[in-house]
A and B are shown apart, each in its own frame.
Chain A
């Protein structure tokens, strides 16, 4: 069952120096209870994709094309006020920076209850009870007493748990987590990922996880979308990314993982991807990875390859996909 259907999403920013093509034609679907990882390096557009779904990109100088459907309903037709009712209720966001994402002036119990009461008609008592329930759900011990804590009294990991509690307070169908573990210690990361897994299992929440950490992907994701220069270049199951990486860029990313090199006997040198990410100011009809690609041929710069199935549930945008270093 599809919960979210993003098709031909384009996001452009108008700046004084011209247009920035941040997202160029991105399509994907998200099933109920599915965890989709959006993976790519800084600037590839993964956060922009995620933030454009609940329309959180700010108002000025942004052009969003394509459509975002939530259970079949087109979100782009909603006005700002209707969108406010969707945010936090149907689609929630967990941000990267837990240290600054909570209101320092109120207790966490107050902030959780606020979101609940914003979207649901609940009494103060009921909202408070629900807040305790939520804190327990995200693994905060002694939840009833913690309600009265101010954000500055909690550690980063605790605050991220509170952020997640707020995000899931109204049982959203889609949870967007923008690098939720990047600012946290590795030990805390595992705990946070556990919460996401539990949410998926108990509430059936669909999750879009933005990350550049392939370890996180291996740990929790069902499907992966690898992004490069504003496009999805490979879309497949989490297993396939590691066992059958087909796009040269995906293969490059994996080749740069130290842990993988160790697993393969520890004798392999880490590989790098030569060259640089193209500037986002143009959108030429060619494979934008071609200048850095070991397999590039003349064909690659004549027409842009579209996403095509190479195996079941495995799409790649490349004329020369497949394992191995040369075509």
Chain B
């Protein structure tokens, strides 16, 4: 791997398959790593995941109240200070990160699984079902994502599970549109006609011909959807429609920080920074992946 660009060209000839697919991945990786912003995004996302997974295990109990240390500014004992009930803000940020990660990843998974399935089917078969179904999707898209999620969460009731469901369902229309577009474009390609000529069944064509060739679009969509869902969770929790106290969520932390903006501005500042850095990280990662996976930008 000393003369990096040449390996790509040479890999066109010779070498076995698994090594070749590895080479393909290496090329994507290389294109990704060449972009500093993408790498910053990746670092932020990895840091966020590490904090969410390991933070709560290493830090003090985020719900432990200490009335001797109320509203303490950041210090060595409490790196990010304490809140109005004497709870450690750093612990609560880490615990909130876990909620954010769960909400972001699970709701996006729901949206991707349902949205891709429906989008591929409607885009593959077209016909009257497509016409009717897409008008329903248009109606759903007419509501801004957050308004739709707020409405759903209000109907379902406030809990982490319901937040995940509400955010997942709200993201489905966007995913359907993307999957449908990909299905319509890819089904016209020659290798799909070839598969039909070889006697492939409709399911095979959707699962093995259309979906894998649309994978990069789906990956990019997921990296855009996750930060959207994280902000969505924070917003719903901020409005009291999401995670309920005393569970820590960045949105709830912002809500309770409102009363103490003058005395302890850091209470609002730190969760705000956490939300900003996390969404920024995912967005930069998504941009980087989109560029790295774009087949038109070969080499």
**How distant is the Cα of A148 from the Cα of B21 in the complex, in angstroms?**
9
Which of these binds chain B: A16-24, A30-38, A105-113, A276-284?
A: A105-113
Do A103 and B195 form a contact, CB below 8 Å, given A95-B190, A118-B204, A148-B16?
A: yes
In chain A, what residue has the closest Cβ to B213?
Answer: A105
**How distant is the Cα of A88 from the Cα of B212 in the complex, in angstroms?**
22
Min Cβ gap A105→B in Å is 4
A306 within 8 A of B: no
B137 within 8 A of A: no
Min Cβ gap A211→B in Å is 18
Q: Chain B residues with Cβ under 8 A from A92's Cβ?
A: 197-198
User: Residue-by-residue, is B129-149 near A (CB-CB < 8 Å gives 1, otherwise 0)?
Assistant: 000000000000000000000
**How distant is the Cα of A114 from the Cα of B21 in the complex, in angstroms?**
19
A-side interface size class: 20 to 34
Please tell me if the beta carbons of B191 and A103 are within 8 angstroms of each other in the complex: yes
**How distant is the Cα of A266 from the Cα of B99 in the complex, in angstroms?**
85
In chain A, what residue has the closest Cβ to B11?
Answer: A153
Q: Chain B residues with Cβ under 8 A from A93's Cβ?
A: 194, 197-198
Please tell me if the beta carbons of A84 and B199 are within 8 angstroms of each other in the complex: yes
A102 within 8 A of B: yes
Please tell me if the beta carbons of A118 and B199 are within 8 angstroms of each other in the complex: yes
- Which of A85, A101, A106, A118 sits near B212, CB closer than 8 Å? A106
Residue among B11, B194, B201, B209 having the largest count of chain A Cβ atoms under 10 Å: B194
Please tell me if the beta carbons of B208 and A153 are within 8 angstroms of each other in the complex: no
B200 within 8 A of A: yes
Please tell me if the beta carbons of A102 and B194 are within 8 angstroms of each other in the complex: yes
A242 within 8 A of B: no
B193 within 8 A of A: yes
Min Cβ gap B18→A in Å is 6
Among B1-36, those with CB < 8 Å from A are 11-13, 16-21, 24
In chain A, what residue has the closest Cβ to B194?
Answer: A101
- Which of A85, A89, A118, A148 sits near B18, CB closer than 8 Å? A148
Among A262-292, those with CB < 8 Å from B are none
- Which of A56, A103, A166 sits near B213, CB closer than 8 Å? A103
Please tell me if the beta carbons of B208 and A106 are within 8 angstroms of each other in the complex: yes
- Which of B11, B191, B209 sits near A100, CB closer than 8 Å? B191
Q: Chain B residues with Cβ under 8 A from A103's Cβ?
A: 191, 195, 208-209, 212-213
Residue among A84, A85, A107 having the largest count of chain B Cβ atoms under 10 Å: A84
Q: Chain B residues with Cβ under 8 A from A89's Cβ?
A: 199
Do A163 and B199 form a contact, CB below 8 Å, given A114-B208, A148-B16?
A: no
Please tell me if the beta carbons of B191 and A150 are within 8 angstroms of each other in the complex: no
Give the 5 A-B CB pairs with smallest separation, nearest first.
A148-B17, A88-B199, A105-B212, A88-B198, A87-B199
A residues near B, CB below 8 A?
54, 56, 84-89, 92-93, 95, 97, 100-107, 109, 114-115, 118-119, 145, 147-150, 153, 163, 166-167
